[in-house]
Amino acid sequence: MKFILLILIFFTSCEATNIHNEKILTRWISLQKIVKINPKIEQKKPIIKPKATIQYLFAVAFYDRSFELNYDCIYYEIPLNDEMGKLLIQKNYSDEICPDYPTKEIIYESLNVKDLNFELKEQNMFLSLQYKDDKEKNQEMIFRKMPLKISSSVSEVFSKKPAILKDNEICEKVSDDCKVTNPRCDNCKNSFFPIINSACKTNYSKVCGPNNCGTKGNPACIRGYAASKYDLDYCINDSPIGFCEGDLRVMCINNTLICD
Amino acid sequence: MYKFSKNSIPKVFSIVGLILIFLIIVSHFLSTKTEPENPTQITFKLISQLKDRWELGDIENHFHKKKFTCDKLIFNAKNIDSEFLKCNPNYLECFLNNETPINSEFSIVNNGKKYSLKIIKNNNQFFSQYQNSINLNAQIIGLDLGVFRIKLQNTCNEVLLPQRIYSAGEVSDNSQVWDNLNQQIYIDKFYVSNLDIYHWDKSKLDHLEPKKFHLPNTSLSINERKNYCLSKRKQLLQSHVLDAASFIPSDLSDSIPEFVYKYPYSWTKKKKGVFLYESLDDSDYEVKAKDCEYAYVADCLKIVDYKHFATDSVSWMGINNILGHYLEFVENKFLPSQNLKASSFYFNAKSAWHEVGKRASWDGVGYLKSNFDFGEFSPVSASKYEVAFRCMRYGKDK
């Protein structure tokens, strides 16, 4: 009988170690994607070197309770002999590159971590934490790629929201070599529309506000490179890449095509 | 015959004990095969049920079979297509109120435990409107996640304009060529309805009854129309974009053609045999009910009821109500004064307005004949000429 009881206790304790990490779970409940994975970290294997250093792992994009797209940067402080490791999560306001070390607000910290490994797949993410007391916490999250967005209102540390951009502010800047910087058109108060202010032929910068293109003093509407069959410098007066209402002319002012 | 002896009792207990151990081990491994799903998976499965109901609407077609009435929310009439009930907050409310024949519970059973999604009313309302979506408060019975918010986006009512070279203006005009390569442009499939305006700003509609919810809104001023679209993070539909969505491309596989050919009718590249073309030549041509599915013109008013949210007259890329139907206000970036799609049920089939790309002018002030410039073509007489509108938006990705 004692033997049977021992077996029962053994199986019960196995179940008890399978704990979900509710705090991360509720924060990332509408996880969208994993971004910027650290290529130096090998997945599915415990991270043991270099000891006592903080390593950036990856960033998660998710919708918060106000339906804003948020980014968290995930770090791991690797244990040094008896000193246990830490899982650290830093909040980022946009998809700017996570710094190598956490420098901003840490919104989650899990101490006494002995072992950590993770696996990122196309549809889900698996995060496994082994603690000093040999408890194991496994967390599997499924990405939500559909338009539906949900978010939890379970209390969390939420700092102030990114400022709403006003009309006429550039919300996505495209450089001459087509590099996109600081895309945040979701933060426009109203809608946004494309303008021509660079030599990039495959993407356009975007400006917050109602589309007033083509009118006097405002950006030219886009005719496009393919439609105009024009392949030279865009920034000239009467540039065929843009068009304006009625008798207004397309002018290149401060590298932007404007109607005047 | 085998007889039990006192000595055999411990042996029996040992055998029973071993069987029990074996059963416990087997049951443990069987149970680990069906791992319990985590709260995320359960949550998403439940919310997917809600999302499907929101996006698919009355998929069982109970509305047209008159199996439910929600008189305060939806007016049930034959001339409303079930498309109206997709992403429709009033239908969802009717559903959540248990007023349709379907059980309104969203639930799943996982490892023998039942989980259900409970939508929580706030100030006696199931949802609040925000931009192009509705927000609901919910909790999952069976999971200790607390109350969370669900955002259901209106994904039903817009369609992406394919990236290619287009030519705006009437068939003979080749001066308004443009392209949307590397740009995402989404266009509303239908006119903005009174229900849309009702949920945006009730004060804009005086004593609006549910029986008028499905009608296109024709009462807002031009500025109010612009503001409505902005509230949805959209803008008023532009004339050249409407033309792009209406002119059937000559070769769908060639998105950058040397020359953009245009055809006057949105559903065919032919002219001969098309009732609008035949009516131009033959004043005795009698419009048939089938013709009205392609373009609902004035002659149709006597033949078939106007069907709202109908998808009969869909364009090549998926927007509806191209030729015929209501007058439609557009912003014209090439020729600002040409701001009205004139083809509508205010003109007979023999009118020259019934061609894609043709535009008349509206002063935006009133709805009398004197507020419009239809050129030499006169509309049928009406106490007022109602002008509908729709919105469009740019997407972020290329």
What A141-144 contacts at long range (C-beta under 8 Å, 24+ apart), as own/partner pairs, is: A141/A25, A141/A28, A141/A31, A141/B40, A142/A31, A142/B40, A142/B41, A142/B44, A143/A31, A143/A32, A143/A33, A143/A34, A144/A30, A144/A31, A144/A32, A144/B44
With vertex at residue A248, the alpha carbon angle to CA A245 and CA A253, rounded to the nearest 5 degrees, is 115
Q: Chain A residues with CB inside 8 Å of B41's CB?
A: 142
Rounded Cα gap, residues A221 and A210, in angstroms: 13
What's the whole-number mean pLDDT along residues A180-190?
86
Nearest Cα to A35, choosing from A65, A68, A89, A73? A73
**% of chain B surpassing 70 pLDDT:** 90
What's the whole-number mean pLDDT along residues A163-189?
89
Whether the pLDDT of residue B1 is over 60: the answer is no
Among A15-24, A47-56, B131-140, B151-160, which stretch is predicted with the lowest mean pLDDT?
A15-24
B 359-378: CB under 8 A from A: none
**Residue in A with minimal Cα distance to B176:** A223
For A133-162, letters b (16+ CB in 10 Å) and e give: eeeebebbbbbbeeebbbbbbbeeeeeeee
- Does residue B390 or residue B125 have the better pLDDT? B390
Q: Chain B residues with CB inside 8 Å of A234's CB?
A: none
**Residue in A with minimal Cα distance to B185:** A193
DSSP H helical segments within B232-387, as ranges?
Answer: 239-246, 275-281, 289-294
Reported as a pLDDT band with limits 50, 70 and 90, residue A4 is: very low
Residues with Cβ < 8 Å from B269, sequence gap 6 or more? Answer: B248, B250, B263
- Does residue B136 or residue A197 have the better pLDDT? A197
Whether B183 has its CB under 8 Å from any CB of chain A: the answer is yes
**Residue in A with minimal Cα distance to B258:** A227
End-to-end Cα separation, chain B, in angstroms: 87
Nearest Cα to B240, choosing from A218, A245, A217? A245
Q: Chain B residues with CB inside 8 Å of A223's CB?
A: 177-179
pLDDT tens per residue, range A109-165: 888 888 888 887 766 777 888 888 777 776 666 555 433 333 333 222 233 345 588
Q: How far is CA B220 from the centre of its chain?
A: 21
Whether the pLDDT of residue A33 is over 80: the answer is no
Out of A1, A192, A221, whose CB is closest to B333?
A: A221
Nearest Cα to B244, choosing from B338, B333, B164? B164
What's the whole-number mean pLDDT along residues B167-184?
95
Alpha carbon of A31 to those of A141, A172, B74: distances in Å?
8, 23, 35
Contact at 8 Å (CB) between B133 and B196?
no
Contact at 8 Å (CB) between A76 and A87?
yes
Contact at 8 Å (CB) between B315 and B252?
no
Q: Which of B15, B23, B44 to probe by mutation at the A interface, max A CB count within 10 Å?
A: B44
Among A3-7, A37-41, B306-310, which stretch is predicted with the lowest mean pLDDT?
A3-7
Q: Chain B residues with CB inside 8 Å of A142's CB?
A: 40-41, 44
Whether the pLDDT of residue B35 is over 80: the answer is no
Whether A188 has its CB under 8 Å from any CB of chain B: the answer is yes
pLDDT at A15: 30
Burial of B204 per CB tally in 10 Å (0-12, 13-18, 19+): middle
With vertex at residue B146, the alpha carbon angle to CA B144 and CA B151, rounded to the nearest 5 degrees, is 125
Whether B140 has its CB under 8 Å from any CB of chain A: the answer is no
Contact at 8 Å (CB) between B342 and B369?
no
Whether the pLDDT of residue B60 is over 60: the answer is yes
pTM of the predicted structure, to 2 decimals: 0.74
Q: Chain B residues with CB inside 8 Å of A147's CB?
A: 153, 155
Out of A192, A202, A214, whose CB is closest to B333?
A: A214
Reported as a pLDDT band with limits 50, 70 and 90, residue A45 is: confident
Q: Which of B136, B155, B182 to probe by mutation at the A interface, max A CB count within 10 Å?
A: B182
Q: Chain A residues with CB inside 8 Å of B137's CB?
A: 153
- Strands B387-388 and B327-329 come out as parallel
pLDDT tens per residue, range B325-380: 999 999 999 999 999 999 999 999 999 999 999 999 999 999 999 999 999 999 99
Rounded Cα gap, residues B348 and B300, in angstroms: 9
What's the whole-number mean pLDDT along residues B318-322?
96
Out of B41, B151, B230, whose CB is closest to A210?
A: B230
pLDDT at A12: 30
Mark yes or no for CB contact A206/B394 under 8 Å.
Answer: yes
Out of B43, B256, B333, whose CB is closest to A226?
A: B256
Whether B234 has its CB under 8 Å from any CB of chain A: the answer is yes
Q: Which of B143, B333, B338, B339 to probe by mutation at the A interface, max A CB count within 10 Å?
A: B333
**Residue in B with minimal Cα distance to A64:** B149
Whether A206 has its CB under 8 Å from any CB of chain B: the answer is yes
pLDDT at A192: 94
Whether the pLDDT of residue A17 is over 50: the answer is no
Out of B28, B151, B230, whose CB is closest to A191?
A: B230
**Residue in B with minimal Cα distance to A167:** B230
Distance to chain A for B106, nearest Cα, Å: 16
Out of A146, A151, A153, whose CB is closest to B146?
A: A153
What's the whole-number mean pLDDT along residues B181-191?
96
Whether A86 has its CB under 8 Å from any CB of chain B: the answer is no
The DSSP secondary-structure symbol of A177 reads: T
ipTM for the complex shown: 0.82
Whether the pLDDT of residue B276 is over 90: the answer is yes
Total CB pairs under 8 A between chain A and B: 145
The DSSP secondary-structure symbol of B92 reads: H
Residues constituting chain B? 398
Rounded Cα gap, residues A40 and A24, in angstroms: 24
